[in-house]
Amino acid sequence: MKIGVLQTGPVADELVGDFGEYDRVFADYLGPKDPGFSFQGWCVYEGELPASPDEADAWIISGSKYGVYEGHDWIDPLKAFIRRIAADRIPLIGVCFGHQIMAEALGGQAVKFSGGWGVGRHEYKTMNMPSWAPETPETIAVHAIHQDQVVKRPADATAVAASEFCENAALIYGDPEHPYAISIQPHPEFSDKFVRDLIAVRLDTFPEHLRTRALADMGQNLHRDWAADWFLRFLKLK
């Protein structure tokens, strides 16, 4: 299965040597789960889009330092491409910015959240999980890095994870038993090391008390494997 990674922003320069750009991040995260996967990235934030949704068997939209509301000239073409993927029912996964722009493209809304940043390990209550999902704990923990959130779900989107801080933390699109897309606000692809290194190079971005708490939480249990299995089971539904 060829997975196209729509890269909506660069990985921080200081981290690229260890982690690569987002196509490699997702390849390192999901590739070990299935040796039949291959990954190709498109730098959407530089104006690069595939000619057709058929150029990959499935798509992932990455996180980004940008906001969906910022008016960059690549935002509207990406929304249009998302609608083409959805219309063709090619599997689509959104993460963080990807989660937000999917909601925007498909009838919802994402904004800069009045509650501020989410940084580091966050816990989310799960609900409404379909039968194809892996065995799901009542609460999952995943690293988050965001100050934007989906505040209005598209009409055909079902929330499957939420917290007091983030009401729409994960969504399933269409019939939950036969969805055409899924998305998640936090970053299951991010390890402790990635988040620790990102905090170190973004000291002026994240409030000190959130940095301190995030670093103190390093080493605690994360449900990265659960999320990877959730992604993979969705990709193999078709």
- 227 pLDDT band (50/70/90 cuts)? very high
pLDDT over 90 (residue 76): yes
Confidence of residue 154 (pLDDT cuts 50, 70, 90): very high
CA distance 176 to 158: 7
The SS3 assignment for 105 reads helix
pTM: 0.97
- The DSSP secondary-structure symbol of 204 reads T
Kindly tell me if the per-residue pLDDT of 80 is higher than 90: yes
126 and 160 in contact (C-beta within 8 Å)?
Answer: yes
The average pLDDT across 212-225 equals 97
The domain limits of the chain are 2-235
Q: What is the mean pLDDT of the chain?
A: 97
Over residues 151-167, mean pLDDT: 98
Q: What is the pLDDT of residue 4?
A: 98
* 60 DSSP assignment: E
Residue 185: phi and psi, rounded to 5, are: -75, -45
Q: Which residues 6+ apart lie within 8 Å of 205 measured at CB?
A: none
What is the helix (H) or strand (E) element at residue 233, kind and residue range? helix 224-235
pLDDT digits (tens, 9 = 90+) for 105-116: 999 999 999 999
Q: Are strands 181-184 and 92-95 parallel, antiparallel or unpaired?
A: parallel
Res 236: pLDDT: 92
CATH number of 2-235: 3.40.50.880
What is the DSSP code string of 121-165?
A: EEEEEE----TTSPP--SEEEEEEEESEEEEE--TTEEEEEE-SS
| pLDDT tens track for 49-64 | 999 999 999 999 999 9
What pLDDT is attached to residue 193?
98
Task: State the pLDDT at residue 171.
Answer: 98
Torsion angle, alpha carbons of 154, 160, 166, 169, to 10? -80
Q: Is residue 38 within 8 Å of residue 2, measured between CB atoms?
A: yes
